[in-house]
Chain A
Amino acid sequence: MSTTDATGSRSAKHVPEWLNSPAWYSKPSHPLSPALSRAQSMVEKEENKPINDSVEDEKFENEERSRQVEDHPITGGYFDQSNSALGENARSVLASSPLNAPHMPSFPSHQSDPSSSFLDGKGSKKTTSGAMRAQAFATELAKKRVHIAELQRLASEGIPDSGGVRAITWKLLLGYLPKNREAWDAEASKRRAEYAAFREELLINPSEVTRREGDGQAELYSTGGLLPRQEISHGDHPLSLGTTSLWNQFFQDLELVEQIDRDVKRTHPDMDFFSGDSDFSHENQEAMKRALFIFAKLNPGIKYVQGMNEVLAPLYYVFKNDPDRENMVHAEADAFFCFVELLSDVRDNFCKQLDNSAVGVHFTMGQLTALLKKHDEELWRHLDTVSKVNAQFYAFRWITLLLTQEFDFPDILRLWDSLLSNPDGPLEILLRVCCAMLICVRSRLLAGDFTDNLKLLQHFPSVDVHHILKVADEVKDRA
């Protein structure tokens, strides 16, 4: 276990060169993706192999964790049922969405580009086990029907950084892509069209609506079957105070937009991808802002909570760096839906009204404390009774942000491989990882007082994530 100065702030954490390498974000000038990895060429080879796992697949189908979101006490589905006007319209748009794009589907199955990228250079240093891992993924992803339990098992050991393998795997693990490989393209097209409809529906300036109203219905609907956006009362104008006023709504939205804007700009300030001053980083910021705004509009029970930008960031980053151009172009839509999926598992932690309920963040932190007590009673006692470091002081951020502010970005991705692939859901393993983090610095904690320990845990030292994950596994085994 290696440690660094506990007082080091997050911005001081090391970002490896490759994350900021222009190779990640030079816009492809080529219609085909410029850098398809070996893994994907392997995908092609594997595709022709006979497939005989369908029976097994069915067997595992029941094991897959279900992602029922409809039962949620505050919001139902990924858009809130109580969101009368917008939800209704959004649903209508969904139901009648005319959008389709035949050129859209292009999950990497029929492309190959052997031109070596810098990733190949990096890959040459990889160990054999790395190559074997890539091979295993290629085999699994090439199957007609992806075996989720097997994919979970592979991903829990870490997903290769190259070739868009992580992007596809995360989409599968989050249930965004169906198991049936043949359905990938159609499903992605459908969702991307849905997202385009959300954008059309929700990101709109009221003066535009008023203008269109004035221009008459013909123009409004000429774009292809869109239902009326909103009833506009007589004399709706920017100074109207009526709650149904479109303009009133607009100004409330403006506040939301500003809030999201100011936070998104502060996402990973040490990475050019998010916070540089290039057109590319601005494009990424815009995409993340739109996705968070749409989420807030569709989920008025939660809206936007600070830190959501941090949870969206790894998804968007991974999808935007998919060497497949079509996937890269639609990273925003894909990240939005995966964000929705992910939050359906953990969003109760974002909800203030639920803080003290059996699903809220205090309960979750209580679970962490109980887990620690069970596995390391001495450490638990020291934190709880001697140094009196309440879990709320450090674990709140760990849990709500899924560890995105505690580690270097490559380590976040590796941790998320394990989080997203956990058969019992991300929260279960998240608690074990948090517990493991405490155990990994136990000797320092046992020697520390309130101030030492709180500072240590609020600026978690750089500890090998593989070691943390190993300890997290042990926590499970002894459970």
Chain B
Amino acid sequence: MMRTVPIKVVLLGDGRVGKTSLVLRYVNATFSEQQTPTIQASYLTKRLNFNGAMVTLAIWDTAGQERFHALGPIYYRDADAALLVYDITDKDSFDRVKSWVKELRKMAPKDIILAIAGNKCDMNSQVDLKDSERYAASIGSSHFNTSAKSNIGIEETFLDIARRVLEQKKALAENVPASTQRKTMVIIDEPPPPPPPSKCCS
């Protein structure tokens, strides 16, 4: 039996930057100009065959409005990756990405994979692309220009996330004892034996 690797991705970003449209384009191949605002968070999944590895992306599409942020941690607490979305026609939404990164540094798993999407790239940008790419690089994130409307860059964004998460999981599996692997790894076989009692001095 082939094992499926679950990857939990959380979408974060200001209200109305197009998080839901991005996910619906990716998961359902649909687009609507008048997407209903997300209240709290929606859950979607997509299965991929990634170079022979079966992957299930479990995507949490969160609400953008400030009011819902108090509820944020339960969605990104054990996420493998965060996709931070901004609207290239709205400079403020890019600043919100930066504040999300700060919050994730404090609250999310240390090794969380980050990706940034500058959405609505079918329109004229108000954000300097060089700046955003430089910023992304500085935090170890990838950066993509996307358009849910024109279906640009979305597949690439999620594939990049899946690839980096898988690489990280692989590296972890090779270099660290099984017992310290992230709990999100699904192990179909027997669970690994408990770690031997510590022999270190107290």
Q: Which residues of A contact B (CB under 8 A)?
A: 9-11, 259, 262-263, 265-266, 269, 275, 305-307, 350, 352, 355, 390, 392-393, 396-397, 400-401, 405, 451, 454-455, 458
Contact = CB atoms under 8 A, between A and B. Distances in A.
A307 B37 contact: yes
Given A306-B15, A355-B71, A392-B74, A458 B37 contact: no
A341 to B, nearest CB: 22
Contact of A451 (B15, B41, B45, B70): B45
Contact of A259 (B15, B41, B69): B15
25 contacts: A9-B30, A10-B36, A11-B32, A265-B34, A266-B36, A269-B32, A269-B34, A269-B35, A305-B67, A306-B37, A306-B63, A306-B64, A306-B65, A306-B68, A307-B39, A352-B67, A352-B69, A355-B70, A355-B71, A392-B74, A393-B43, A397-B40, A400-B39, A401-B39, A454-B43
B39 A451 contact: no
Contact of B67 (A265, A350, A405): A350
Contacts of A307: 37, 39
B45 A458 contact: no
A263 B58 CA distance: 27
A396 B36 contact: no
Residue of A10, A307, A350, A392 most packed against chain B (CB within 10 A):
A307
Interface string B10-51: 000001100000001000101010111101111111000000
Contacts of A350: 67
A451 B58 contact: yes
Interface of B: 15-16, 24, 28, 30, 32, 34-37, 39-45, 58, 63-71, 74
A259 B92 CA distance: 13
A275 B34 contact: yes
A216 B102 CA distance: 51
Given A352-B67, A355-B70, A263 B32 contact: no
Contact of A266 (B37, B65, B66, B67): B37
B71 A396 contact: yes
Contacts of A11: 32, 36
B71 A392 contact: yes
Given A397-B40, A451-B58, A262 B16 contact: yes
B36 A458 contact: no
A9 B70 CA distance: 26
B136 to A, nearest CB: 26
Nearest to A265: B34
Contacts of A400: 39
Contacts, number: 65
A357 B72 CA distance: 17
Contacts of A392: 40, 71, 74
B10 to A, nearest CB: 13
A454 B58 CA distance: 11
A427 B63 CA distance: 23
B43 A458 contact: yes
B96 to A, nearest CB: 13
Contacts of A396: 39-40, 71
Contacts of A275: 34
B126 to A, nearest CB: 15
B42 A405 contact: no
A390 B16 CA distance: 26
A213 B96 CA distance: 38
A275 B35 CA distance: 11
A306 B69 CA distance: 12
Contacts of A10: 36
A439 to B, nearest CB: 22
Nearest to A451: B45
B22 to A, nearest CB: 15
A357 to B, nearest CB: 12
A454 to B, nearest CB: 5
Nearest to B24: A9
Contacts of A263: 37
B47 to A, nearest CB: 11
Contacts of A451: 43, 45, 58
Contacts of B34: 265-266, 269, 275
Contacts of B32: 11, 269
A7 to B, nearest CB: 8
A458 B62 CA distance: 13
Contacts of B44: 455
Contacts of A355: 70-71
A258 to B, nearest CB: 9
Contacts of A266: 34-37
A390 B65 CA distance: 21
B43 A306 contact: no
Contacts of A269: 32, 34-36
Contacts of B24: 9
Contacts of A352: 66-70
A458 B23 CA distance: 15
A11 to B, nearest CB: 6
Given A352-B67, A401-B39, 17 more contacts: A9-B24, A11-B32, A262-B16, A275-B34, A305-B67, A306-B15, A306-B39, A306-B67, A307-B39, A352-B69, A352-B70, A355-B70, A392-B71, A392-B74, A393-B41, A396-B40, A396-B71
A263 B34 CA distance: 9
A49 B70 CA distance: 57
Closest CB pairs A-B (n = 7): A269-B34, A397-B39, A306-B65, A396-B40, A306-B37, A305-B67, A454-B43
A405 to B, nearest CB: 7
B17 to A, nearest CB: 11
A296 to B, nearest CB: 12
Given A11-B36, A269-B36, A458 B63 contact: no
A275 to B, nearest CB: 6
Nearest to B33: A269
A458 B45 CA distance: 13
Contacts of A265: 34
Nearest to A305: B67
Contacts of B45: 451, 455
Contact of A405 (B39, B70, B74): B39
